[in-house]
Structure 1
Amino acid sequence: MKTAGLLLATSCIVSTAAVAATAAPRATTATGVVTGMREATGVKSFKGIPYAAAPVGKLRWAAPQAATKWKGVRKADHFAARCMQLPLFSDMVFRSDGVSEDCLYLNVWTPAKSAKEKLPVLVYFYGGGFAAGDGSEPRYDGASMAAKGVVTLTINYRLNIFGFLAHPELTTESPNRASGNYGLMDQAAALQWVRKNIAAFGGDPSRVTIAGESAGSFSVSAQMINPQAKGLIAGAIGESGSLLGLMGLAPLSHAEKIGADFTQAAGAPTLAELRAMPAQLLLETTKKPGTWFSAIQDGYVIPRPPVDMYAAGEQAKIPLLAGWNSEEGSYKQILGDAAPNDANFSAALEKMYGDQAATAKQVYRGDVVQSATELASDRFIGYSTWKWIDSHARTSGKPVFRYYYTRPRPGQSGATHSAEIEYALGNLASNKVYEWTQDDRDLSAQMQNYFANFIKTGAPNGYALPEWPQVRLEGGTLLMRLGTPSKVIVAADDEHMRFHETQVRK
């Protein structure tokens, strides 16, 4: 009888453990209980959690408001809708539940077995020119990074006219006397949600690294100076781009005029008419060539010119890892349809730089295709990323690590804009377009380990990885060339950047 009782008790314990292992994972947030899913890797995922109220009706073009609490258990087992956007970029693949103004949701992947683990956290902002993108894109999937011991999130934020319209009536209505930058406010609201709730998923709210590519990288540089995100960030990763660019940001007054002129032409000059316009119809008005709404210097989210704020050391004092790719632009962006020869390159420089053309030619000397490619890349992304890295290294007192990514995707000639994303986040298998090789998989494993180490410790270095030195301000900048193979090099573009420093307009 004793043996039978012992067997029965053991059976109950095993049965209970089996049920627990297969039950939907659960977490209790400030707004309610959510259940997620178990990924094949054992990582737990929670998709489509609201971090703010739906920005519709009177909340269209308002600061994000607190999400509504719910009773019972909310299923978080699928991606919510992506924010309003046009189909702009062919490389974007979405798993989201359609398109909607009701889009302020986030997704969490966690390896934590309990809420007590206090694991490091990564919050990733998607790219897309502040006009497109979504946290459901497979290249940003967080399961692979979570398997490295990092609680990983992607978040949705408002885009295009919905996220970045400035307008005199909106400024008057705002208690902060500012308008525009609603998408950046969304990101900060998501970070505030993380501070309040991430412990429920096994994350440490004091160890949050933010990262992003392209507009996502611009966003990282913005949140580092956004008062709404103060104290919420422990580290930053920027892939291609920052707000510290050649042209500077439009001031609020200029952005208000653009917004007022645009909405007048769209047939909805007043704020009431704008808010009454159906979302899809409003989106259609942005199809006009040359229409682009983006981050501005509004005096609130971005209090002053970013280059001045970083120079004064007013940004978050945190470790930074940032860089860009070897072919962010194309030589055709400089030469157009003209043949890539010395005469045509000289003519293009004359048109672009006038009496500075000879200096530009000296700085961008050598093979015309290579020189024009480097110039296009620097004008588009390279200079702004360099300026961010250089300024932060000078004024933050924290470690800064720079990279230069050179590995083309299979079948491509160069490391184009956004080519590194799947490598860095361990998501090569999610992109079926390319026939990845073992060299690709090896580089991806290396990059992901560098990123994971940085998120965990504030430095990318670790076991069996080539040592990645910090940026030094004297004696030549050391950086990691990420490619096949990866190795430390001295930056070869100092002349380029010094030239562009003379071209900057605030």
Structure 2
Amino acid sequence: MSAAGGRIRRAVSAVAALAAAAAAAVLGPLPAQAATGTGGGTLVRTDDGWLRGTATAEGRQFLGVPYARPPVGDLRWKAPRPVRPWDGVRRATGFGNRCVQSASWDPGYENPSHTEDCLDLNVHTPEGRTGRLPVLVWLHGGGLTAGAGSDIVPDSFARRTGAVVVTVNYRLGALGFLASAGLDGEASDGVSGNYGMLDQQAALRWVRANIGRFGGDPGRVTVAGESAGGRSVCTQLASPTARGLYRAAVVESGAYGDCAGRERQRATADGAAFAKKAGCPDPRTALACLRGRPAERILAAQAGFDWGPVVGGAFLPVQPEAAYRNGSAARVPVLNGANSDEGRLFAFSQFDGRGAPLTAERYPQALAAAYGAELGARVLRRYPLADHASPTHAYGAALGDRMFACSALRMDTALARRGPVYAYEFADRTSPPFASLRRLDTDFDFGATHVNEVQYLFKHFGLTSPFNAEQRLLARQMVQYWGSFVRTGVPRADGGPAAPDQRTRPGQVLSLRTASAGGNTIDATVRDTHRCDLWDAVPAS
């Protein structure tokens, strides 16, 4: 069979598989009670068709709901298209496919995903609540190359806060963020590479159109995320095409690199290098060649490139930091923060996790390799080993301060120019490692590291964390703060201090701690603690 014939056969097989999957998802004729507008709380009509979810002790859940057409075939590297309506009732009782990504150490991610039909979301509604409820839309983390909406189970959060919670899948890696000259020619604004971010906006538009049928208020939507999800939120804050899709935002550990996007020239150069690596070196045929490559080949070729949003088009005219400072960013309340020991996870991954803990003798060389000789020497003076439990902890402190803590504080200052911004720091250094780390055979002290706060808000990977009594209390308080912000735009908790608004209390943050560590307090020393005088003077990373 010719190469063209092989491509046709694969395309026909893919269409047949999609049709079979769609048929399996539909339960058949509309039940009589649905036709009369009844049928119980697990039967809901959306703009695209009827869904049947499930009821749990916490509320209702509708899983694997498509919000855009599968981005396959000719729709690969195209802006998301509307879902084709279906007949009958579609099952919404199981999570959809994860977007294309490699295997990882996270629970449930032992195998890679090569499925591009992944543009689904999940809706969780609280038990016993009526009326038009506030809505939280959660964007998952994973470096914009991994993760899924199913990474958190927010049903308990929904019940305790009286909010509807929506979690979202979006395209990742090269399939979500490839930019090239050929794709620029197809883009309506001449700038390609923002497909994953446009997916997020499509999900928010689905929420605006449909969430009222689930008891949610489309006028009270908060968009939130952690790590790459937080970076997505701070990018959406700067995007003109996201205006009106949400009325508040939460950025958790997402300010790294000052939330900067890729400049178009660099992004298209990376795209050309990626095409060559994927076996499509001829610029004249690269795009057609890449669209013919299987997802496995695309995934294998994407390693070593920086995938993320691209600046210069209608989606992101200027860098987010510039949008914050010039006043063009969305003027909505923002809850923004980081964790006190962000860098320990990354330092562990670089050293101890590879069986080669950083030693005192190698510490100066490691800093020089990371920051260059001159800056590395300054970092060595500011992060002496005597101040830390181990060289890996010292290295992690410098890394976390530069990437996360000081970036978050700078973002607070910039955001305060355009509206309310409330600052927090998660500082429970006794917190158990999050689920992925608990699977490792290590006694490394991760402290309040990257991702660790997520388990205090939701069931991370659907698991219950092994909290002690003080940590359970802190988790309840954090849910109150986040829930208050989702409902009112101001984070408050019973008996706790109000989170400081950076417009009137610049540099102060709500420090979230267990009772034995002093409880939740207002900390005015975080900039000094994280040595931001050093890091604010060097380019963000």
TM range (shorter): 0.7 to 0.9
Q: Distance in 2 between matches of 1:471 and 1:23?
A: 43
Q: Distance in 2 between matches of 1:492 and 1:108?
A: 37
RMSD value, Cα: 3.1
Judge conservation of contact 1:252–1:299 (CA < 8 Å) in 2.
no
Q: What's the CA shift for 1:170?
A: 0.3
Identity over the aligned pairs, expressed in percent? Answer: 34
Q: Distance in 2 between matches of 1:22 and 1:441?
A: 38
Q: Against the structure 1 CA distance between its residues 276 and 349, is the aligned structure 2 distance closer, same or farther, given a 3 Å change threshold?
A: closer
Q: What's the CA shift for 1:384?
A: 2.6
Q: Distance in 2 between matches of 1:397 and 1:211?
A: 17
Corresponding position of 2:524: 490
* 1:213 is aligned to 2:248: no
Greater mean alpha carbon deviation, residues 304-313 or residues 382-391: 382-391
Judge conservation of contact 2:101–2:113 (CA < 8 Å) in 1.
no
1:267 to 279, 284, 290: 279
Q: What's the CA shift for 1:472?
A: 3.8
Q: What's the CA shift for 1:431?
A: 2.5
Amino acid at match of 2:267: A
Corresponding position of 1:446: 477
Structure 2: 5+ residue runs without aligned partners? 1-32, 434-442
Q: Distance in 1 between matches of 2:462 and 2:444?
A: 18
Q: What's the CA shift for 1:231?
A: 1.1
Any idea what SS the aligned residue of 1:493 has?
A: helix
* 1:418 is aligned to 2:451: yes
Judge conservation of contact 2:420–2:501 (CA < 8 Å) in 1.
no
Greater mean alpha carbon deviation, residues 452-461 or residues 438-447: 438-447
2:169 to 156, 163, 167: 156
Corresponding position of 1:50: 66
1:459-481: CA deviation from partner (whole Å, max 9, x where unpaired): 1213x331123144687622122
Q: Against the structure 1 CA distance between its residues 379 and 251, is the aligned structure 2 distance closer, same or farther, given a 3 Å change threshold?
A: same
Amino acid at match of 2:278: A
Structure 1: 5+ residue runs without aligned partners? 1-15
Q: Against the structure 1 CA distance between its residues 273 and 346, is the aligned structure 2 distance closer, same or farther, given a 3 Å change threshold?
A: closer
Greater mean alpha carbon deviation, residues 236-245 or residues 145-154: 236-245
Q: Distance in 2 between matches of 1:476 and 1:260?
A: 44
Q: Distance in 1 between matches of 2:176 and 2:460?
A: 30
Corresponding position of 1:324: 338
Q: What's the CA shift for 1:298?
A: 4.3
Corresponding position of 1:250: 262
Judge conservation of contact 1:325–1:416 (CA < 8 Å) in 2.
yes
Any idea what SS the aligned residue of 1:70 has?
A: coil
1:403 to 425, 428, 437: 425
Q: What's the CA shift for 1:21?
A: 11
1:368-426: CA deviation from partner (whole Å, max 9, x where unpaired): 55553321102332233222222112x1232423223334216662122111111122x
1:34-71: CA deviation from partner (whole Å, max 9, x where unpaired): 11110122x01111111111101111001001111112
Q: Distance in 2 between matches of 1:476 and 1:33?
A: 49
* 1:372 is aligned to 2:403: no
* 1:110 is aligned to 2:125: yes
Any idea what SS the aligned residue of 1:147 has?
A: helix
1:33-182 map, 5 Å: 33-41=50-58, 43-88=59-104, 90-93=105-108, 99-111=114-126, 117-137=131-151, 140-148=152-160, 149-182=162-195
Q: What's the CA shift for 1:232?
A: 1.2
Q: Distance in 1 between matches of 2:182 and 2:432?
A: 47
2:413 to 376, 385, 390: 390
Q: Distance in 2 between matches of 1:156 and 1:428?
A: 16
Greater mean alpha carbon deviation, residues 140-149 or residues 486-495: 486-495
Q: Distance in 1 between matches of 2:136 and 2:506?
A: 31
Corresponding position of 1:339: 359
Any idea what SS the aligned residue of 2:479 has?
A: helix
Q: Against the structure 1 CA distance between its residues 357 and 146, is the aligned structure 2 distance closer, same or farther, given a 3 Å change threshold?
A: closer
Q: What's the CA shift for 1:340?
A: 3.2
Any idea what SS the aligned residue of 2:258 has?
A: coil
Any idea what SS the aligned residue of 2:149 has?
A: coil
Judge conservation of contact 1:428–1:436 (CA < 8 Å) in 2.
no
**TM-score normalised to the size of structure 1?**
0.85
Q: Against the structure 1 CA distance between its residues 199 and 350, is the aligned structure 2 distance closer, same or farther, given a 3 Å change threshold?
A: closer
**TM-score normalised to the size of structure 2?**
0.80
